[in-house]
Structure 1
Amino acid sequence: MTVSSAVASFAVVAGMLTIMPGLDTALVLRSAITLGRCRAFATALGILCGVLVWGVAAAVGASAVLTTPHLLYDALRVAGAGYLAWWGIGMLRRTLKERGQPVSGDAAGGAGARTAEATWARSWARGLGTSLLNPKNGVFYMAMLPQFIPSGTPHLQMGVVLAAVHDLEGLVWFSALIFGTQLVRRWLNRSSVQRVIDAITGTVLVGFGVKLALGDG
C-alpha cells in the first residue's frame, strides 16, 4: 500500500463516519441555531482539534492504554458520560426556566440565559471536551489507523496526515451544516423554537451520557 492509496482509502472511511448522524453533528447544529455562525465554527473547530489529538495519540500508540487496562478506559468513559449528562441537564433546566417567560418573535428573550456560553473560547472548549471525553473516538482510531499506515512510513507523521484528512472532511461537512442553517435562521431564531431545540439537544446529550455510562453500543 502506497501513501497516496492509504490516504485515499482512509478518506472514504472517514468521510462515511463524518456524515453519519451523531453527537458532533447535533452539537454543531445546535450552536449554529442558538449561538450563531461564529460560535458554531468555534464548536466545530474544538471537535476537529479533538480528532487531531486522538489521531496523534493513536499513531504513537498512546491510545492503546484505552483498549488494554479496562480501568483506564472505564474512567474516561464515566468522565465523558458525566460531562454529557451535566451539559444536557443544564440545557433542560434552562428550557424549563424559560418556559414561563413571554415568547417574543426572536431570540432576545433567551439571550441573557445564553450569554455565559456565547463566547468563542467556551464554544471551542466545549467541542474539544466532547471529542476528547468520548473513548469511542480513541478506540476507532486505534482500530483503524494501523490499517492505513504503509510499512516503513513514520507512524506519527502518517497519523497526523490521516487525522488532518478526517478534519478537512469534517470542516467541509460542518461548514455545509452551518451555512445551510443560516438560510432558515430567521425562523429558527424564534425563542420558542430555540427552547424546543435546547430541549431536544439536552435530551440527546443525557441519552448519550447514560448510554456511555452503561457501556452500551
Structure 2
Amino acid sequence: MLSASASLFSIIKLLGALYLIYLGVGLLRTRSGTPLDKREIKLAPLPYGRLFWQGFLTNMLNPKVALFFLAFVPQFIAPDAPQKALAFILLGCIFNLNGMIWCHLLALSTAFASSKLKVSAKLSRWLNRVMGGLFVVLGIRLATE
C-alpha cells in the first residue's frame, strides 16, 4: 500500500522523522542529578496476564511480523507439499521458539549487566546527550531525504 501511494509514504516518513526528533529532544532535555542506581523509581508490578496480552497484541497488530512471514517463510515450503498450512505453522513455531530463546538470553544478560554496572550522573547525562543528538540528526536526515 505504501509503495502504491507516494504521498502516504511521505506522510509516514515525516511522522517517523518527527517522532525521532521528539525522542532526541526529550533525551537532550533530561536532567539526571543523581546516579541511576541511587534514584528511587517505584513501579507497580503488572500482572503476568496483562503483560502477556500486551505482548501478544503488540505482535499480532505489528504488520512487520505478517510481512516477514509472508515474504520469508514460503520459500522454505515446497510448492508440491501436500500440507502447506501445516508446514507454515511448523516453521512459525520454530521461529517463535528461536525468538523466545533469544529474548530470554537477552533479558538475562541485560539483568546481569545492569546489576553489575553502576552509571554516574555525569556519564548518564553525557550518554543522554549523545543519543539525543543522534536521534535528532537521524530524524532530520530522514525528513530531508
Partner in structure 1 of residue 62 of structure 2: 132
Q: Structure 2: state its 5+ residue gaps.
A: none
Higher helix share: 1
Q: Decide whether the 8 Å contact of 1:88 with 1:204 is kept in 2.
A: yes
2:42 maps to 1:91: no
Identity of matched residues, %: 16
Do the aligned partners of residues 90 and 175 (structure 1) sit closer, same or farther apart at CA in structure 2, a change above 3 Å counting?
farther
**How does the TM-score come out when normalised to structure 1?**
0.41
Aligned residues: 136
Higher relative contact order (CA 8 A, sep 6+): 2
Cα distance in 2 for partners of 1:93, 1:194 equals: 16
Q: Decide whether the 8 Å contact of 2:77 with 2:84 is kept in 1.
A: yes
Cα distance in 2 for partners of 1:160, 1:147 equals: 14
How do 1:118-129 and structure 2 match up within 5 A? 120=51, 124=55, 128=59
2:108 maps to 1:179: yes
Q: Decide whether the 8 Å contact of 1:77 with 1:133 is kept in 2.
A: no
Aligned mate of 2:35, from 68, 86, 104: 104
Question: What is the aligned-residue RMSD (CA, Å)?
Answer: 4.9
Letter paired with 1:132:
N
2:51 maps to 1:146: no
* Post-superposition offset of 1:102: 1.2
Largest Rg, 1 or 2: 2
Do the aligned partners of residues 185 and 198 (structure 1) sit closer, same or farther apart at CA in structure 2, a change above 3 Å counting?
farther
Q: Deviations over 1:50-88 (max 9, x none)?
A: xxxxxxxxxxxxxxxx6xx83169957964x56754554
**How does the TM-score come out when normalised to structure 2?**
0.55
Cα distance in 1 for partners of 2:77, 2:135 equals: 35
* Post-superposition offset of 1:123: 7.0
Cα distance in 1 for partners of 2:58, 2:129 equals: 16
Do the aligned partners of residues 133 and 187 (structure 1) sit closer, same or farther apart at CA in structure 2, a change above 3 Å counting?
farther
Q: Structure 1: state its 5+ residue gaps.
A: 1-65
Q: Deviations over 1:142-170 (max 9, x none)?
A: 44322211323333332222122112111
Q: Decide whether the 8 Å contact of 1:91 with 1:198 is kept in 2.
A: no
Do the aligned partners of residues 95 and 181 (structure 1) sit closer, same or farther apart at CA in structure 2, a change above 3 Å counting?
same
